[in-house]
Structures are given as structure tokens and as C-alpha cells.
Amino acid sequence: DIQMTQSPPSLSASVGDRVTVTCRASQDIRNDLGWYQQKPGRAPKRLIYAASSLQSGVPSRFSGSGSGTEFTLTISSLQPEDFATYYCLQHHTYPWTFGQGTKVDIK
Amino acid sequence: EVQLVESGGGLVQPGGSLTISCAASGFTLSAYWMHWVRQVPGKGLVWLSQIDNYGIDTNYADSVRGRFTISRDTAKNTLYLQMSSLRADDTAVYYCVRGLIGLDYWGQGALVTVS
């Protein structure tokens, strides 16, 4: 199975901060990676697909980059509604696997 | 508008069986691959199973292979997950998810408690 190592597990940030979350795949997954945001009690919502393409309706402060084994989700200016848990997902090879999640909370 | 609505969750005894459903609207199941993902409350997301748009090819996580079966009814535009030999560690929220370049639209989830 492909392991997705996500870091950091949690971070504290302030409104307006630039935030970066990283996922490392245990083998080359090309650009078969998505990023998801989940708020408590809610279903996940996709932010980024194909590593760097912005999902329709998602604010442009979210961006993704990377290919192969190293991927990054960046929030350019953190907003109050962005406090949530973020997950990466590799869909290159079954079984598909998620990162462990990064909880972003208020500093 | 794409909507996925799960139903059928609940309390089941260890060793028991349960089938959860996912009613799709705003699109046709037969045009998309569909998936099930689960989440133990307070924990991370785990991909479980996939069925192709023809309803023929399926894939499963090792943890559920042989115990869970994914299927669909195109006439009802509904996806199913039949679960048997349930264990306490199957307790989770089960999400139905549409597949398009990964996973795009998610249902609201159905809680299954094995106790």
C-alpha cells in the first residue's frame, strides 16, 4: 500500500497567516492527489484535485503544488472559516490512502 | 445539484449484518465510479471500496474484503454497502462518495455502531 505521510499533525495560526501543509507519498503517484477540508460534524469537502487544480467554488487563497512524492497545500491568508482539519488523498493505486490529517486551529 | 444521502445506519451486534444505502440525485450513478469511505469518530478517513460505472469492477480495502460488498441499483440510482461479520472496530461514520479525478462529492454520512 502507498503510505501518505502528512505534516504537521496540527498547527496554530492567526487570521491572515500563510499556512502550508505537506504530504509525502511512499512512492511516485504522479499528480493523483487531492486535498480535502473537514469541519467538525461535517463531511469532507474537496479543495484541490490533480495536485494543483482548484475545485470549482473554492476560494483562490487555497492552492496546491507538487508531483511525484511531495505535495503541498497552501492557504495564502488564513480566514476564520478555514479553521478545520485537512487531509490529502492519493488515488493512484488501490487501496486509495489518506494522510493522517492536519488540524488547523486558532492561535 | 449533486446530492448523496446515506441511510440505514444504526446499532448492530458484533457478528451481525447491516446494509447502508446512498441515494444519488443530480447525476446518474451509471456514469461514475462510486466509493465508500469511513471515519471512526475523532479519527482520520479510510477508503473502503469502489465500484466502476458499469457495476462490474470492484475494489476493497483489506480490512473489509470478504465481509463487505459494494453494489448499486441503477433503476433506483442508489449505491449500497452490505456489511457482515461486523466487529466493534467497524464502528464509524460511513460516507458515500462520487469518484471523479479522485473523490469529489460526499454524502453527509451514516453512523454505524457495532456493540
CA angle A88, A93, B82 (to 5 degrees): 85
Task: Reply yes or no on whether the pLDDT at A88 is more than 90.
Answer: yes
| Rounded alpha-carbon distances, angstroms, from residue A92 to A3, A42, B34, B102, B105 | 12, 26, 16, 9, 18
Residue B44 C-alpha from the chain's centroid = 16
Residue A64 touches chain B, beta carbons under 8 Å: no
Residue A86 touches chain B, beta carbons under 8 Å: no
At A25-82, the pLDDT tens digits run 999 999 999 999 999 999 999 999 999 999 999 999 999 999 999 999 999 999 999 9
Q: Which of A46, A56, A88 to mutate to test the interface with B (most CBs of B within 10 A)?
A: A46
Q: What is the pLDDT of residue A35?
A: 98
- Residue among B35, B46, B101 minimizing CB distance to A98: B46
Residue of chain B whose Cα is closest to the Cα of A33: B102
- A67, β-bridge pairs: A70
Instruction: Measure the N-to-C terminal CA separation of chain A; round to a whole number of Å.
Output: 36
Confidence of residue A107 (pLDDT cuts 50, 70, 90): confident
B76 grid coordinates = 433506483
Q: CA torsion B73→A96→A31→B44, rounded to 10°?
A: 110
**Which one, of A21, A90, A94, lies nearest residue A49 by Cα?**
A90
Is the four-CA dihedral B14, A98, A34, A105 of positive or negative sign? positive
Task: Reply yes or no on whether the pLDDT at A106 is more than 90.
Answer: no
Task: Note whether B47 contacts A49, CB cutoff 8 Å.
Answer: no
Q: What is the pLDDT of residue A99?
A: 98
Residue of chain A whose Cα is closest to the Cα of B39: A43
Q: Which chain B residues are Cβ-neighbours of A99 within 8 angstroms? A: 44
Q: Which residues contact B1 (CB under 8 A, 6 or more apart)?
A: B25, B26
Residue B12 touches chain A, beta carbons under 8 Å: no
Q: Which of B103, B104, B108 to mutate to test the interface with A (most CBs of A within 10 A)?
A: B103
d(CA B42, CA B59): 26
Q: What is the pLDDT of residue B73?
A: 96
Q: Which chain A residues are Cβ-neighbours of B104 within 8 angstroms? A: 46, 49, 55
Q: pLDDT tens, position by position, for chain B (115 residues)?
A: 999 999 999 999 999 999 999 999 999 999 999 999 999 999 999 999 999 999 999 999 999 999 999 999 999 999 999 999 999 999 999 999 999 999 999 999 999 999 9
Task: State the CB neighbour count (10 A cutoff) for residue A6.
Answer: 20
Which secondary-structure segment (H or E) carries A98? strand A97-98
Instruction: Measure the N-to-C terminal CA separation of chain B; round to a whole number of Å.
Output: 37
